A and B are shown apart, each in its own frame.
Chain A
């Protein structure tokens, strides 16, 4: 019996009916709402902000959280949704990751009841957009040494500093800003209309062009005591969010890779040289076979991590295995696909170079490939090599 090139190892049978339906519905939504516009958005460097409410109506925003208007889906379903979104474009998966895992999750996990009630239902509906301010111009892999600081002034807080490479920054209604305080690093809920807050979008990007990336400037922003996330102090708060977001990337990167693989497979069967399709040549078949093997391995890894997460057993170091492997392999798959398409592979007529360029960002954001390597190294040896 022939195998299905889209699911050669029959991974589908490892999913529940409901997980498959969720996956199929997100795929259908992406086909109808992302693919027709994405070339233009990418080329013009735009994210269609109005689509946030549609993502909310579909139920994708904070879908793995429960209560407060959130869907309460399992981790595997969330992962599958990330995969399908990123098969559209990494910019859309990034939007959903930042909204659900980096902005809603810290409120859901570490926030007060008032903060949850005020923000989560609106954010789940896409009526309020969030961003996550951790990285700074001079502190990327080393965020614990951030310069942004918050000092007390009576019962208020005064926050100052600059955050950099912030996805959704320029379109956000709320920024989760991490700052040094006398008692360690704390998270602050900063409405973006607060006096002293400014977001400056970063232009001239050649990657994640259908996504807003900004610098956040906080110039003595005054916040009430209620703006601080009460439930957490120190880097473990930020790490809890990053682990959530990295989990989505473990799946998402495979979506970009799948889109590239499917495009290259189709192209290899129709592009004829020396009187036969290039897919009939051994070198092309070696590329396609390697791409498919890595895709399937990555998917099994993602599914395993998803099941661990659903059992409440997933460790951050295990997520590093997934992020390290799946993004690296997705980028390789995208580059191989590009080579199969030849010159056609460099145009926006095909999705391949768009995904390839996007994956260059995915490779380094949410922990670079190098940092995840060293997290795994530390997990194995007990010796920390990155500071």
Chain B
């Protein structure tokens, strides 16, 4: 089984994200593999190991996205495609979906996996757009993915619990952070990554023109979230329980 994982390099979440004057995230220094995507990589590796298949990761991003791709390879992915092009700077979700769909379409695939949404942009629309462009069904919010006889069986998380969804392959599935914990890469994974195929593509290699990926959205303003005030400390005393009950009622908890 050929499994493709869409991965994204994001600025280190433990650092402070900075925005440029055009409100785009400044992507300097090494990026990290989006923690949400690690769940998709883990699910892909598990499926490929069970079926004797291979995992390919596909990522669009600037040159420093390479460290995120290497992380996926060190976890065990077999090959990678990195699409980088000056014309893609500021690409919106639709343009990114066009690029990723074009890259995925270049080789036969059975299953495309992705995180639910990116940890830096949170658009959450990209995977389904890619599925639509590829003309395959998409099953979202999977906490578990199994494949039997060409059919993906997905436990789709809901507010109440989970639905069981099935669809024929090829398909696209987004994986949540309730899926299996991502494996920690190994030193062997790092060392064997250097002999794995890493394909570097530009826009023209995908048969796309800059006009086709010109962003149709732009960020016009960014505002800081309001700072939270200090909490209220209720001292033990005569009316402490009443005050706590009032606060709970105010929060509509009781």
Chain A residues within CB distance 8 Å of chain B: 18, 21-22, 25-26, 29, 57-60, 63, 71-73, 77, 81
Measured CB to CB, the nearest residue on chain A to B66 is A17
Chain A positions within 8 Å of B74 at CB level: 21, 25
> Are the C-beta atoms of A29 and B184 separated by less than 8 Å?
yes
B67, B70, B185, B190: residue with the most chain A Cβ atoms closer than 10 Å? B190
Residue B194 at the A interface, CB < 8 A? yes
* Closest B residue to A16 using CB positions: B194
**Is B187 on the interface with A (CB-CB < 8 A)?**
yes
Residues of A close to B191: CB separation below 8 A = 18, 22, 71-73
| Interface of chain B, main secondary structure | helix
Q: B185: shortest Cβ distance to chain A, in Å?
A: 6
CB contact list, B177-207 vs A, under 8 A: 184-188, 190-191, 194
Tally chain B residues at the interface, Cβ within 8 Å.
11
- Tell me the nearest residue of chain A to B185, going by C-beta: A25
Partner of A58, one of B67, B70, B186: B186
A43–B234 Cα distance when bound, in Å, is: 36
Which has the most chain B C-beta neighbours within 10 Å: A29, A59, A81? A59
Instruction: With A26-B187, A60-B187, A73-B187 given, name 10 new contacts (CB 8 A).
Output: A18-B191, A21-B70, A21-B190, A25-B190, A29-B184, A58-B184, A58-B187, A59-B186, A71-B187, A71-B188
A-B contact number at CB 8 A: 33
Residues of B within 8 A of A26 (CB): 187
* Most A-side CB within 10 Å, residue of B67, B185, B187, B190: B187
State how many angstroms separate the Cβ of A179 from the closest Cβ of chain B. Answer: 35
Indicate with 1 or 0, residue by residue over B61-93, a CB within 8 angstroms of chain A CB atoms.
Answer: 000000100100010000000000000000000
Residues of A within 8 A of B184 (CB): 29, 58
Chain A residues contacting B188 (CB-CB under 8 Å) are 59, 71
Partner of A59, one of B67, B70, B187, B194: B187
Residue pairs across A and B with Cβ atoms less than 8 A apart, 7 shown, are A21-B70, A22-B187, A22-B190, A25-B74, A58-B187, A59-B186, A71-B191
Q: Min CB distance, B77 to chain A, in Å?
A: 15
In the complex, which residues 195-239 of chain B have their Cβ closer than 8 Å to any Cβ of chain A? none
Contacts of A58 in B (CB 8 A): 184, 186-187
CA distance A71 to B186 in the complex (A): 10
A323-B225 Cα distance, complex, nearest whole Å: 53
CA gap between A57 and B186 in the complex, in Å: 7
Report chain B residues within 8 Å CB of A18: 190-191, 194
Most buried by A among B67, B191, B194: B191
- Which 5 A-B pairs have CB atoms at the shortest separation, nearest pair first? A59-B187, A21-B190, A59-B188, A59-B186, A71-B187
Interface residues of B in 73-121 (CB under 8 A from A): 74
- Cα distance, A26 to B184, chains bound together (Å): 11
Which residue of the partner chain B has the closest CB to A70? B188
